[in-house]
Amino acid sequence: MAGYDPDELAAARGYRTIPLHAAQWSLTLSVSAWACTLRAGLNKAIVLQHATRGIQRAEDIARNNAHDGIHHVWDIGCILGGQP
């Protein structure tokens, strides 16, 4: 699986210009797709090779994403004018 720079991806996709309601709609779909994909990965005991983290089981990926999600919630709270 190839790596990417999340800041470059955000710039290329124009995240700063997406209306809030559109971003929320997209997030709802993304969360559902991610949950289905994670379940399949756990059921099949999927293992990926990460460029810097090494071998990543589905459990590791879920844990890493949950950790990142906590930081994203904090970031969004700051953007909206307060801390969550």
Among 7-11, 25-29, 68-72, 75-79, which is the least confidently predicted range? Answer: 75-79
Q: How far apart are the first and last CA of the chain?
A: 33
pTM value is 0.64
Other beta carbons within 10 Å of 8: 9
| pLDDT bracket for residue 83 (50, 70, 90) | low
**Domain locations along the chain:** 19-79
Q: How far apart are CA 10 and CA 38, in angstroms?
A: 23
Secondary structure class of 50 (helix, strand, coil): strand
Q: How far apart are CA 35 and CA 30, in angstroms?
A: 9
* pLDDT, tens digit, 9 for 90 and up, residues 18-70: 888 998 999 899 999 999 999 999 999 999 998 888 999 999 999 998 888 88
